[in-house]
Amino acid sequence: MLGRTLQEVSEALKQGLVTPTELCQRCLSLIKKTKILNAYITVSEEVALKQAEESEKRYKKGHSLGDLDGIPVAVKDNFSTAGIETTCASNMLKGYVPPYNATVVQKLLDQGALLMGKTNLDEFAMGSGSTDGIFGPVKNPWSYSKQYREKRKQKSHGESEDSHWLITGGSSGGSAAAVSAFTCFAALGSDTGGSTRNPAAHCGVVGLKPSYGLVSRHGLIPLVNSMDVPGILTRCVDDAAIVLGILAGHDPKDSTTIQDPVKPFTLPSLTDMSKLCIGIPKEYLTPELSSEVQSLWSKAANLFESEGAKVIEVSLPHTSYSIVCYHVLCTSEVASNMARFDGLEYGHRCDTDVSTEAMYAATRREGFNDVVRGRILSGNFFLLKENYENYFVKAQKVRRLIAHDFVNVFNSGVDVLLTPTTLSEAVPHTEFIREDNRTRSAQDDLFTQAVNMAGLPAVSVPMALSSQGLPIGLQFIGRAFCDQQLLTVAKWFEKQVQFPVIQLQELMDDCSSIFENEKLASVSLK
């Protein structure tokens, strides 16, 4: 049952083939079995079981709240959850319990979703490996998959298996691992420069970054206000569309959300491909791109072409400036946002009482890790009076040019852009930590951050396994607020490629029960 899609399980719940409590208990037991992944910071067992009980009562009365009623979900630990600790994987917020829910969390709960827990991340979502939080790194479920283990056995001679676990990507690695390992059916991540799409690609799941302004940021602890978007991680594109339909829409608490009402939507099946135009940005063919990813990217383009779509090479001329521009804008906004953590109102406070200044300094030194402190220092440098025009203002102008590149391409008749999500498949942790966070983020955000600067929707869809038996994902980028069209194309692609299911027998002794079919034989999908 846990290996099913959100839609199928929702149908099974409606038909009484499984109860919310049974589903919740299975997920909780799986969270315990996959503890080695370190995907969760907090497991909200009591809360989830109580929510399941309420959901069960509703189903018995025939008053289900919708598709998410009784469905286990997880939330990245930088979204505020009332009564549940929200840490951002930082000493600064260890023990902080928010008094309110983030809008997206509230919307999930209003639909009857069961909150399994809060997922692990890089501290304050700054990173691309989910390795830099105070609760330790997240391990990629594919490290323990039959597919990867078999390939490793052929190559390794006497190396210890456990030292070779892989990173999940980041910063929403906990959410991606939670969905990939079947401990929930959907999870919330956040996406500032690729933090939902990057781990989705490495963990073989679907990662959606909606258009900026479509989904409320209220209650998402901010990194870069002008780029942050709540992201959605699921095991298939249809599930992402269901969750987006529930989360999207105006929020009076977030002035950047759109004013128009958004109706939940179902994705149509693409039949006539001849009207579709796919753009391939030539600047994304970089020397660092692995040959396997490049070959799959070409295969995907050929697949669209062979089915009748028009595939053309397009140019996004300012791509080479985007990483530098992103770094300046990102660190500047980080410096501004992190000023709120001063030890006075909430979060960590040091014991120093020599003076207010000394207390501020000691609190921030103890509360933030090197990565966060480094970004604050860079940001404050760019915002100094003598540097402001040369760095921050100039970066804003370049950002406008980058956004304009996308506008020009979409105005030329292109419907969706097809690009890689990451440079390669997931790498072992030992290899990942050879480079510092700053270098890693610059490499890993290469194909993803320009979308955040332009406010466009993008989705990473798993395409195939590499020669090592690891997932490789490709990214689709759509026009602003054409999220439905983007997901429709992504759904067609997903159906064509038939990405294999992860086999985690070694991690869970009773893995077979996850995919049991006997109860589900009679589920009819309407």
Active site residues per annotation? 76, 171, 195
The rounded Cα 94 to chain-centroid distance in angstroms is 22
CA distance 205 to 177: 9
Token readout for 444 is 């890993």
Q: Residue 498 burial by CB count (10 A; 0-12/13-18/19+): exposed, middle or buried?
A: exposed
Residue of 235, 229, 234 lying closest to 248 (CA atoms): 229
User: Which DSSP category does 501 fall into?
Assistant: P
Contacts with 348 (C-beta within 8 Å, 6 or more apart), sequence order: 91, 92, 93, 94, 341, 363, 366, 367
Whether the bond between 128 and the residue before it is cis, its omega within 30 degrees of 0, is no
Cα of first residue to Cα of last residue in the chain, in angstroms, is 18
HSE (side-chain half, CA atoms, 13 Å) at 45: 7
Alpha carbons 277 and 409: distance in angstroms, whole number: 11
Instruction: Kindly give the residue spans of alpha helices, DSSP state H, lying in 368-448.
Output: 370-382, 394-411, 429-432, 437-444
Strand order in the sheet with 416-420: 40-43, 114-119, 72-76, 186-191, 229-234, 206-209, 458-465, 471-478, 416-420, 277-281, 310-314
Q: In sequence order, what DSSP letters do the residues of 174-203 get, joined into one string?
A: HHHHHHHTTS-SEEEEEESSSTTHHHHHHH
Contacts of 326 (CB under 8 A, 6+ apart): 193, 445, 449, 450, 452, 453
Enter the DSSP assignment of 138. Answer: P
Backbone angles phi, psi at 84, to 5 degrees: -125, 130
